[in-house]
């Protein structure tokens, strides 16, 4: 039977509530594997596991319960090893890395911030900031809409200006919030978002970080800004050497999606 991994903690971690269960149908009992100074929070891995809402919530619940008792390095949903020995082997091999990460992430949480343009507002900004666009738009208006080529040209100018502004505003979001965080991790680009950034925040500084988000919204009203958190610090478990092939397989991202 393969082993499902929820997270990694110090061996001194106080453990989990008695009778706690995790993923699977029926839910598999959660247990602790210890190796030296480290421990892994695991259960049996059910066959045919899929990222359905019930399973994602079960994964998150185990991490929430464990994280309430002490620092846990969260694994992505679907992280599975061939057996218990594979996991203890990885803990022994990567002990220094995991201990460093546990120390760095202690009492810290992740906030994922995504930003997008409010279309009408950004178009007003683009018009206000570009004399060329304003001039061509006015000329087209006076000409009853302008020729086909003029309309195409105006559309190209507006699209280029908006794209440039997306890059500028994405960088501005990161600059505005980074001082209120301990670390920053830029997420993969996703359709519809000009910024997708995770911030590592001390629990005691969470109010200051959220205040910085509100200030960003006031300073940049042409942006739609969404915040997801506090989350386990999924985006900050690495960097570090990759697991040896055939040990722990990284699963689906449940953290900052």
Residues 100 and 119 in one domain: no
Q: For residues 5 and 82, is the Cβ–Cβ distance under 8 A? A: no
pLDDT of res. 110:
92
What angle do helix axes 95-105 and 84-93 make, rounded to 10 degrees?
80
> Do 186 and 216 fall within a single domain?
yes
Taking the C-alpha atoms of residue 68 and residue 2, their distance in angstroms, rounded to an integer, is 27
Distance CA 257, CA 255 (A): 6
Task: For residues 27 and 49, state if they share a domain.
Answer: yes
If asked whether residues 123 and 203 sit together in one domain, one would say: yes
pTM for the whole thing?
A: 0.76
As a whole number of Å, the end-to-end CA separation of the chain is: 30
Please indicate, yes or no, if residue 31 is contained in any of the structural domains. yes
> Would you state the pLDDT for residue 210?
97
Residues 6+ apart with CB under 8 A from 218: none
Question: How many distinct structural domains can be found in the chain?
Answer: 2
Assigned domain for 56 exists: yes
In a domain, 121, yes or no: yes
Q: How many Å apart are CA 27 and CA 239, to the nearest integer?
A: 32
Report the pLDDT value the prediction gives residue 190, as an integer from 0 to 100.
Answer: 63
Same structural domain for residues 188 and 99?
A: no
Which residue segment(s) compose the domain that 223 sits in?
Answer: 110-231
Task: Give Cα 132 distance to the centre of its chain.
Answer: 39
Going residue by residue through the chain (257 aa), what tens digit of pLDDT does each one get? Answer: 799 999 999 998 887 878 889 999 899 999 999 999 999 999 999 988 899 999 999 999 999 888 888 889 999 899 999 999 999 999 999 999 999 999 999 999 999 999 988 888 777 777 777 777 766 676 767 777 777 776 787 777 777 877 888 888 899 999 999 999 999 998 877 667 889 999 999 999 999 999 999 999 999 999 999 999 888 898 898 743 333 323 344 444 444 34
pLDDT value at position 44? 94
Whole-angstrom distance, CA of residue 13 vs CA of residue 163: 48
């Amino acid at each position: 039977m393969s082993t499902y991994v929820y997270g990694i903690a110090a061996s001194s971690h106080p453990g989990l509530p008695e009778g706690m269960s995790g993923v699977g149908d029926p839910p598999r009992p959660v247990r602790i594997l210890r190796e030296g100074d480290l421990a892994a929070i695991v259960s049996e891995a059910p066959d045919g596991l899929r990222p359905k809402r019930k399973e994602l919530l079960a994964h998150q619940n185990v991490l929430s319960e464990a994280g309430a008792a002490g620092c846990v390095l969260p694994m992505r949903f679907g992280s599975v090893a061939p057996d218990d020995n594979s996991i203890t082997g990885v803990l022994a091999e990567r002990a220094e890395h995991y201990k460093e990460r546990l120390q760095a992430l202690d009492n810290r949480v992740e906030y994922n911030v995504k930003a997008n343009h409010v279309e009408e507002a950004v178009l007003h900004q683009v018009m206000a900031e570009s004399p060329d666009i304003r001039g061509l738009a006015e000329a087209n208006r006076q000409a009853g809409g302008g020729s086909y080529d003029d309309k195409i040209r105006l559309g190209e100018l507006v699209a280029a200006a908006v794209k440039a502004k997306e890059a500028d505003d994405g960088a501005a979001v990161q600059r505005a919030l980074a001082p209120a965080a301990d670390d920053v991790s830029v997420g993969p680009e996703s359709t519809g978002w000009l910024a997708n950034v995770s911030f590592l925040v001390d629990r005691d500084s969470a109010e200051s970080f959220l205040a910085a988000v509100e200030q960003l919204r006031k300073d940049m009203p042409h942006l739609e800004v969404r915040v997801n958190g506090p989350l386990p610090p999924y985006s900050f478990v690495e960097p570090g050497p990759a697991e040896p092939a055939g040990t722990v397989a990284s699963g689906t991202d449940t953290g900052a999606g």
